[in-house]
Structure 1
Amino acid sequence: MRATRRFTLRVNGASHEVTGEAQTPLLFFLRNDLALNSPKFGCGLGECGACTVLVEGQAARACALPVRLVAEREIVTLEGLGSVEAPHPIQQAFIDAQAAQCGYCIAGMVMTAKAFLDAQPNPSEAEVREALRHNLCRCGTHVEIVKAVMLAAERGRQDAAAS
């Protein structure tokens, strides 16, 4: 019999107490306990990227990440980046580039791109493609997604120059 434990998850700036088995994937708590629907269940193996969230600023696959490894660490989902009224600049770039079709992969793409641009604010197109190569889009909007990331990078440089 597996033991259940209490875990404190720090998600999008708020602390939440959840109860479950230590090996349960973070994704299940995000979606089922916290009602955060941006990270999607795609493959369940950490290979498609639909479940990507940020853990301490690093892109992580929530479907393959045991909750015990992220307790007390800062987790950010797409809901924590911005809102409909005030989207994060990378969210706005995805909107402006019309990078979404069905939308299933987009949260994971945005979160992966956010972590990437935080580490590499002046990427080449080849670097963007490399950074996103493990995120799958079944609709085939990869070209628009790359354009969105390049647009976000360009706008970030413009904002930095204006400051």
Structure 2
Amino acid sequence: MLLHGLQTIAPTGEKRFLTGTPKRGKFHLIGDSLTHSQGVYVCEGYATGASLYETYGLPVLVAFDAGNLLPVTQNYHNRFPHIPLTVCADNDRKTPDNPGLSKARAVVACLPKVGLIVPEFPDTAPLHLSDFNDLTALLNSNANKDTTP
């Protein structure tokens, strides 16, 4: 595998690619193989990908943002059409038009054989929680709460 660029994340959460980094269609693989007979996941962010990999043990392609989901998914699907592929959408509930979910649905509309899963949050969950990493953290924090009266 080749290194095509680098993304930094500031303590404030701001994400930046190095100037000149090609991003369209590029991804980061989490796992040791591009293929798995049970399938491969595609998601936006690294933390989301890490949570998916830790939970399911399947390879994950990190596209880095919603706008890159389609190019990454198309490139992968063209190269490995026999491998099941699932887009794991961000559910940007607090953002107008929910771009994470909208872009993920657009991928599935273009590539009907590609699956889609969306994190579903309890009604009481803060609106800033949007992806599978957030959902994993929320579920783990609730599991560790002492509910003894």
| TM-score category of the 2 structures, normalised to the smaller one | under 0.3
Higher helix share: 1
User: TM-score, normalising length from structure 2?
Assistant: 0.25
